């Protein structure tokens, strides 16, 4: 199995992941409720995000956290997100970049959850 090396790999990874997410009974309604008919725009943005993170080609200039600040999400949602992310990566790729993709996803989920805790009830530590 090959590793993640080019933009086509990122596109396959992101497309496959969000197909799973859209079909998921916990996450699907949240994503579809916000994104509605803007999926092409969201997917393009996520290609650039992961291209920047994994391929060091700097095409994403946004701020990842703000769109999540008001979402009705808690630990269970991040657990589900991560389970799909790991399964998708492992079903398509193997190697150092594939490992990094899973590691980064975990770190981002932890950071988002920690920020949400902090803003919601003043507990937890915002890591960034």
Please, are residues 14 and 43 in contact by the beta-carbon 8 Å criterion? yes
- The rounded distance, in Å, linking the Cα atoms of 57 and 23 is 30
Please, are residues 4 and 93 in contact by the beta-carbon 8 Å criterion? yes
CB-nearer residue toward ligand HEM: 3 or 100: 100
- The rounded distance, in Å, linking the Cα atoms of 121 and 59 is 34
Q: Does the footprint of ligand HEM cover residue 43 (CB under 6 A)?
A: no
Q: Which of 3, 12, 24, 31 binds ligand HEM (CB under 6 A)?
A: 31
Q: Does the footprint of ligand HEM cover residue 102 (CB under 6 A)?
A: no
Binding mask 45-84 for ligand HEM (x = CB under 6 A): x---x------------x-x--xx--x-x---xx--x---
Binding residues for heme: 42
């Amino acid at each position: 199995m090959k590793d993640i090396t080019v933009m086509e790999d990122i596109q396959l990874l992101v497309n496959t992941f969000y197909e799973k997410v859209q079909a998921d009974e916990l996450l699907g309604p949240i994503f579809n409720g916000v994104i509605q008919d803007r999926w092409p725009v969201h997917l393009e943005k996520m290609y650039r995000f992961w291209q920047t993170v994994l391929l060091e080609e700097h095409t994403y200039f946004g701020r990842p956290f703000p769109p999540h600040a008001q979402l009705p999400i808690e630990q269970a949602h991040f657990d589900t997100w991560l389970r799909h992310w790991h399964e998708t990566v492992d079903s398509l790729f193997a190697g150092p970049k594939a490992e990094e993709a899973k590691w980064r996803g975990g770190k981002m989920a932890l950071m988002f959850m920690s920020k949400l805790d902090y803003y919601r009830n003043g507990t937890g530590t915002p890591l960034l």
